[in-house]
Homo-oligomer: A and B are copies of this chain.
Amino acid sequence: MEFKCKATADRTYKVHFEWGILDRLRAILESENLDGPYYVISDKNVFHHQGRRLKSALKGAGFHHHLVSPGETSKSLKDWWRIQDFLLRKGAHRRSVVIAFGGGVVGDLTGFAASTFMRGLDLVQIPTTLLSQSDSSIGAKVAINHPHAKNLIGSFYQPRIVVTDPALLQSLPAREFSAGLGEAIKYGVISDPDLFEMLNQNLEKVLSYNQEHLTALIARCIALKIRVVEEDEREEGLRKILNFGHTVGHALEQATRYRLLRHGEAVAWGMLAAGRLAIRRKMWDPGEFEKLRSIIVRSGALHPFGSLRNKDILKALKHDKKKTGKSLNFILPVNTGKVAIVKDIAPAEVQAAVDYILNFRY
């Protein structure tokens, strides 16, 4: 299956999507005029499990690789510069092809490195986690972190192609997989009642890596993400709704210093907070919120975040607001599949929503 995504007014790229497609990678790259040697950036875990398969898929084409440590700390100035060194040392030039082989961290870091080396090399995203397959590999946002602000340094840089193989998820640790479900659930709430229902009914099949259901889920998310980014590449309007669950989610990540929670886990908590806020405002049907609650609990994405206090989270929320120069916005469901951007949230409402997740029992 192929998806097309409009990158700019005059350029489109394809998402090549199929169970087991990695084995046909070389033919796909060559059909897109992306010739080797390939410069592969990956993390040590992913490469340990899947590196051999990737190498064998690219056999004979020339292959250089550079590995980073798994985890958010690799989205650093140092790692970015090391990739520039690696590319220079291994003779990369303007026509060279860089492959990001990993999850969101590898995709962001590699994408930014590819965007800056000789003012931009061709970039292939091969996402290996549920989160990156269904969400972060599509769209142009690439970045590294500043010690004081996540994703502060980056650019908008479109991949030449994305190659997505759901079979790769079989070697994914359960926690990573569950965290990735967070974003899929989000898509259901913000724009796709069928996806929401599909998750509610088939979540256990998805969690057991059932080929049919997993493929269907990811395909649906890819299509949704493409629709959103095409309409709003620079996150100026529609794309904001993707931030459902992210207001409190970001604050949780920050209050736990990006160490305790994966992004998808923080978003799962954030969706509970936002959903609860919507219910208290009588904006959304309580029965639907109950379904969301059940899906999130069953997904396994609710990793505990330790002994935070209400004020830690509120402080982080305020910091976020100051940093972006924007008022505190919440994306809240009005129907399942439809959200509104709400700006007049009172501090007491935020506090109640945060209390809800602090005291959550499951």
Residues of A participating in the B interface, judged by any CB pair closer than 8 Å: 8-10, 77, 81, 84-85, 88, 91, 93-95, 115-120, 141, 143, 146, 148-149, 151-156, 323-326
Contact = CB atoms under 8 A, between A and B. Distances in A.
B325 A95 contact: yes
A155 B153 contact: no
A155 B115 CA distance: 7
A152 B88 contact: yes
Contact of A94 (B81, B91, B119, B325): B325
A171 to B, nearest CB: 32
Please give the count of copies of this chain that the complex contains. 2
A51 to B, nearest CB: 26
Contacts of A81: 77
A153 B325 contact: no
A152 B93 contact: no
Nearest to A11: B9
B324 A88 contact: no
Contacts of A152: 84, 88, 117-118
B84 A146 contact: yes
Question: Chain A interface secondary structure, helix, strand, loop or mixed?
Answer: mixed
A325 B153 CA distance: 29
A119 B119 CA distance: 15
A155 B119 contact: yes
Contacts of A143: 119
30 contacts: A8-B8, A8-B9, A9-B9, A9-B10, A77-B81, A84-B146, A84-B152, A84-B153, A85-B146, A88-B148, A88-B149, A91-B325, A93-B323, A93-B325, A94-B324, A116-B116, A116-B153, A116-B154, A116-B155, A117-B152, A118-B152, A118-B154, A119-B141, A119-B151, A119-B154, A119-B155, A119-B156, A120-B155, A120-B156, A155-B155
A335 to B, nearest CB: 30
Contacts of A324: 93-94
Contacts of A117: 152-153
A243 to B, nearest CB: 14
Identify the 6 closest CB pairs spanning chains A and B, nearest first.
Answer: A93-B325, A9-B9, A119-B154, A9-B10, A116-B153, A119-B155
Nearest to A324: B93
A146 B88 contact: yes
Contacts of A85: 146
A326 B155 CA distance: 28
A79 B141 CA distance: 24
A126 to B, nearest CB: 23
Contacts of A155: 115-116, 119-120, 155
A324 B152 CA distance: 31
Contacts of A148: 88
A210 to B, nearest CB: 37
A282 B118 CA distance: 36
Nearest to A144: B116
Contacts of A94: 324-325
Nearest to A112: B116
A9 B10 CA distance: 7
Contacts of A93: 323-326
Nearest to A92: B325
A149 B325 CA distance: 38
Q: Which of A10, A116, A323 has the most CB atoms of chain B within a 10 A radius of its CB?
A: A116
A256 B170 CA distance: 56
